[in-house]
Amino acid sequence: MTLTFIYVALLGAFLAVYVWSLYNLPILATGVRNLHKTKLKPDKKRSVRDNRLPMFTILVPVKNEEKVIGRFLEAVALLNYPNDKKEIIIVEDGSTDRTAEICKKYAMEHNKLTVKILHKSTSNGKSPALNYGVKHARGEIIAIFDADNVPYADALLNACKYFEDSKVAAVQGRTMSINQDENVLTKFVSYEDAVWCEAYLRGKDALNLFVHLKGSCQFIRRTILNKLDGFDEKTLSEDMELSAKLTEKGYKVRYASDVCSWQETPASLKRLLTQRTRWFRGTMEVAFKYGRLMAKPSLKSFDAEATLFGPFILIASLLTYLASLYTFLIPFPLSLLLEVTTRFTAVSATLTLFICGLALIYASKPRKATNVFWLPFIYLYWTLQTFIAIYAVLLIFLRRPQKWVKTEKTGVINAAGFC
C-alpha cells in the first residue's frame, strides 16, 4: 500500500513537472525570438510636447527607507515628462528613521513638482498604503514604484503608448537589479529576473496570455483600479491578486520591455527567504482563490492558473530531483511508464534551461555569450527556492497568521550599466 502511494506520488510529480515545462517551452521560445527581433529595431518615441499625454500619479509607499528613498525621488525629478502632467504621492507608513525628513526636504527643494506626503496612523502593509494613496490621486494612470527603484528617464513617456489602446488596463515594466554585482546571490537573482521579464513575460505578452504585475514599475488606469475596489488588503501578494482579478474581468495587461527601472535585489539568504516566502505564500493563496477562473475556460484563464500554481510545481520538481538521485545512487527497478516520464521530464527541463540561456545572452547589457555558463548554478538556485516554497505551504497548512514583512534595503549600487 505504501509503495503504491509513493509510486503514484512520484508519477504525479514527474507528470506535473513535465507538462508544466512542456507548456512553458513555447512561451519562453516566443519571448526569446521576440527579444531578438526587437533588438534589431529602433523604437519610435513620443514627444514630451504632445498635448495628449495623460496625467500620471507616481505612487510610492515608504517605511524606514532612508537608505534608498532619496535616490528614487531624485530619479523622479529627472523623468522626461511635463511637470504639470505628473504628481508624486508618498505614503509614509510609520517610519522611525529619517525617511519622512528626507521626503519633506525633497518637496521643499522641488517646488515645481506636485508632491503630496501622506501619513498613515496605522502601519499594516503595502496594500492598505497603496489604497490610501489612490484615494488622493488625480492622475489618469497610477504608476507604482517601490522606494528602492530608480526608473529610467523615459519610463512614463514610453508607458504612454501602451495605454493608447483603450483595451489595456495595466502595464508591467521591466525591472533590473541595481546591485547585481554585490555577490553571487544577487547575480543569480538578477539573471532570474532578466529571464522572467525578457523571456517569460515577453513571450506571454506576444501570445496574448496572462501577463501578471510584479508590484513595482507597474501602471494601471485609475478608473479601473477604483472599479475593482483597489488592492486586496487581505493578501500577501497584492500584485498577483490584482492581475488575476483583471483577467477575470476581461481586462488586458501588457508587458513593456522599454519601460525600465532599477531595483535592489536581496543580498543575503535571510532577506531572500523573507521576500520569497511572502511571494510564494501570497501566490499560492491567490491560486486557490481564483480557481474559479476555470469556470469560464479560455487560454488566458488557463495560463493564469498555470502561472499561479508555479510554486506548487517547484515543490513537485524537488520530488523529481530526489527520486532521480535515489535511483542513481541505489538501482531501483522503475515501471515503464515512470521510466518514460522521467526521461521526458529530463529532456523538457534541459530544453527549458537552454532557452533560458539564450534569454540571458540577449537580455544582458552588454550582450555576453559567457552568461550561459551560469545556468547550472541558477538551476541549483531554483532548487533552493523549492525549499522556500515548501516552507510557504507549511505556513498555509498550519494556518499561521499572515504578516506582511518588508524586505530590508541597503542602498548598494554596483550594477554594470547603471549611471
* Model confidence pLDDT, tens digit, residues 266-293: 999 999 999 999 999 999 999 999 989 9
Q: What does the alpha-carbon distance between residue 203 and residue 399 come to, in Å, rounded to a whole number?
A: 36
Spell out the residues 6+ positions from residue 39 whose beta carbon is closer than 8 angstroms to its own.
362
Residues 199 and 322 in one domain: no
Residue in 90, 148, 102 with CA at minimum distance from that of residue 271? 148
The answer to whether the Cα torsion of 135, 228, 213, 252 is positive or negative is: negative
Structural domain span for residue 72: 56-294
Lowest-confidence pick of 131-145, 149-163, 168-182, 359-373: 359-373
Residues 161 and 196 in one domain: yes
Q: Tell me the average pLDDT across 128-144.
A: 96
74 within domain boundaries: yes
pLDDT score recorded for residue 228: 96
Other Cβ atoms less than 10 A from the Cβ of 389: the count is: 25
Q: What is the pTM of this model?
A: 0.89
For residues 75 and 151, the answer to whether their CB atoms sit within 8 Å is yes
Looking up cell 545556468 gives: 375
Number of domains the chain contains? 2
Residues 19 and 73 in one domain: no
381 within domain boundaries: yes
Residues 166 and 217 in one domain: yes
Residues 354 and 265 in one domain: no
Q: In what order do the strands lie in the sheet with 86-92?
A: 114-119, 86-92, 56-62, 141-144, 218-221, 168-177, 252-263, 150-151
48 within domain boundaries: no
257: CATH: 3.90.550.10
Residues 274 and 362 in one domain: no
Q: How far is CA 27 from CA 7, 17, 190, 199, in A?
A: 31, 16, 20, 8
